[in-house]
């Protein structure tokens, strides 16, 4: 889909070029010969402001190019014009970028803003967003709120084994800190059952496994 990526990247400029071309054709040949060009110009320009370059941002994040993702996010000058579901994704992505910069306060605010907008796209991202919010709260020392968010994330649904394993491992750690060892062991078993492959999660499982078998309960 390289053509679609190129189109999104240059959609505004293409729209402006088509608009200029439509005006020229209109002057030279009349409105109806220029109608299709006008229509394509409007679709491109309106699409730029209502849909934004979300695909480009997500592609950059998938390959780990955070600098490029930040550059594209910064290019969105009028986020209020984005349609509601897209605006929700925009704030969620901003929250992820803030997390990468260790700006936990900003990340929490942006993710909450994204979740508050609702919509079908937000529903798909609700579980991962609440999981991230839970982890943010834990990093800030708010274990109670962190546990609440993680439980909500599991209840809403997480998209893959890695997210599910991460969520149950966090709950396991919380239960260990609360000395609720039986619950900690149960959450640990659930985390392992998802058979995660992410090195960080696998390493965390190995570290917890050293201690959890010695716990009572």
- pLDDT at 152 (0 to 100): 93
Nearest to 48 by CA among 65, 66, 31, 72: 72
For the chain, give every domain's residue range. Answer: 2-161, 162-217
Count of other CB atoms within 10 angstroms of residue 22: 21
- Across the 217 residues of the chain, what is the mean pLDDT of every consecutive 10-residue run? 88 96 95 95 96 90 87 93 90 87 88 78 72 89 93 91 94 93 94 93 91 78
- pLDDT at 43 (0 to 100): 96
Measured distance between the N- and C-terminal CA atoms of the chain, rounded to whole angstroms: 54
- pLDDT at 53 (0 to 100): 94
**C-beta contacts of 208-215 below 8 A and 24+ residues apart:** 208/169, 208/172, 208/173, 208/176, 211/176, 212/172, 212/176, 212/184, 212/185, 212/188, 215/176, 215/181, 215/184, 215/185
- pLDDT at 2 (0 to 100): 82
- pTM beyond 0.85: the answer is no
Cα–Cα distance measured from residue 127 to residue 122, given in angstroms and rounded to the nearest whole number: 9
- pLDDT at 124 (0 to 100): 62
The correct answer on CATH 3.40.50.10420 for the domain covering 2-161 is no
| Residues 81-112: tens digit of each pLDDT | 999 889 988 998 898 888 888 888 888 899 88
């Amino acid at each position: 889909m390289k053509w679609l990526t190129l189109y999104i990247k240059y959609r505004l400029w293409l729209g402006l070029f088509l608009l200029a071309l439509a005006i020229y054709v209109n002057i030279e040949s009349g409105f109806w010969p220029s109608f299709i060009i006008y229509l394509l110009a409007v679709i491109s320009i309106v699409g730029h402001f209502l849909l934004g370059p979300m695909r480009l941002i997500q592609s950059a994040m998938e390959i780990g190019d955070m600098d490029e993702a930040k550059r594209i996010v910064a290019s969105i000058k009028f986020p209020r014009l984005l349609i509601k579901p897209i605006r929700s994704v925009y704030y969620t992505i901003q929250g992820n970028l803030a997390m990468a910069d260790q700006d936990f306060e900003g990340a929490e605010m942006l993710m909450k803003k994204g979740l508050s907008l609702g919509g079908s796209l937000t529903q798909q991202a609700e579980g991962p967003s609440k999981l991230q919010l839970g982890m943010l709260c834990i990093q800030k020392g708010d274990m109670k709120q962190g546990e609440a968010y993680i439980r909500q994330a599991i209840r809403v649904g997480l998209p893959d084994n890695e997210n599910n394993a991460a969520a149950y491992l966090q709950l396991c750690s919380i239960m260990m800190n609360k000395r609720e060892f039986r619950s900690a062991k149960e959450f640990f078993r659930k985390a392992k059952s998802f058979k995660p492959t992410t090195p960080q999660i696998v390493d965390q499982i190995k570290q917890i496994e050293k201690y959890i078998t010695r716990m009572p309960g």
